[in-house]
Copies of this chain bind each other. A is one copy, B any other.
Amino acid sequence: MSDVARLAGVSIKTVSRVVNDEPAVHPDTAERVVAAIEQLGFRRNLGARNLRRGSTTGTIGLIVEDVGNPFYSELNRAVERIATSFGRHVLTGSSEENSDRERELALEFCARRVDGILVVPAGMQHGYLVPEMRAGTPVVFLDRPAGDIVADTVLVDNLGGTIDAVTHLVRHGHRRIAFLGDSPDIFTAAERLRGFREGCVRNGVSYDESLVVMRTPTPETIAHAVATLLSGPSAATAVIAGNNRVAVHLLRALAHAEHRPAMVSFDDFELADLLDPPVTVVAHDVSALGHAAAELLFARIQGDQSAPRKVVLPVHLVARGSGEVTP
């Protein structure tokens, strides 16, 4: 900036005025300054500006498990849309389902003075965020609740959705239903399992623990589960996939079976409707989740001091055929 000032033959303050479109600069002076800026390729340093003005950085942090997962990237997109409408940018990070990494990212974002943070928490302990929140960085949890603090949270109806899935399958005559979920350490997985049990109870089907597998989905774990639960004479006739990755691996494991069992997937996924038979899903609006959380965060950023809110978004079962397969 001082280079520009020197070249234009004005004071550094006048350059600042021009850069900020402040009035009371003589047009001729402004022109000289603009020319100098052009010539030197000057661009003002936003960091210094924010420091001096005490203004915010215009950035929010988003921590998800994996930005590459379509579920989270859709979330990312929804958040970005709201952020853009508020003139903010988004700093993203993948926690890789690792609570240390989550914490590291969150604290790093705080040190960068983001205006607020959206977290899909990997861990169950969030005391480390209390000082930051007290210091004025709002935090909204989404998809999963905070571990041991009270904070704004936006969830989907995991329990109800899974109950619906069970009900749907039972209505189509299934009595032996398997449940393949992600690791029970993950809130949504545990909650959906709870829904599965509750669904069995409500529908008068005995809840059979031997038909449940809760493990991080990989081609191997799912293939093993299929071999155990979905084959042989006592095989389940229907299966509920606890999330989109379970569903995809499950479909792949079943690709060469002569007969695919009835199936419902929690989480919709692209092309589910084009498979044969199409896959019935418990769909939830991921964009809505991101929107709701981001809107809430921006309300906090703009000074909303009301009590922490907990929002639960509805889900709905989309019957596509795979749940109707006769037992």
Contacts and interface: CB of A to CB of B under 8 A. Distances in A.
Interface of A: 41, 43-48, 50-51, 57, 59, 66-70, 72-74, 76-78, 80, 89-94, 107-108, 110-113, 131-132, 134-135, 248, 251-252, 255, 269-271, 273-276
Nearest to A73: B73
Given A41-B132, A110-B43, A73 B67 contact: yes
B70 A92 contact: no
A23 B247 CA distance: 54
B94 A77 contact: yes
A91 B47 CA distance: 15
Contacts of A108: 89
A73 B78 CA distance: 13
Contacts of A135: 41, 43
A148 B112 CA distance: 35
A131 B4 CA distance: 14
Given A43-B110, A66-B77, A69-B73, 4 more contacts: A45-B113, A48-B51, A67-B67, A269-B270
A100 to B, nearest CB: 13
B80 A93 contact: yes
Given A51-B48, A80-B67, A255 B270 contact: no
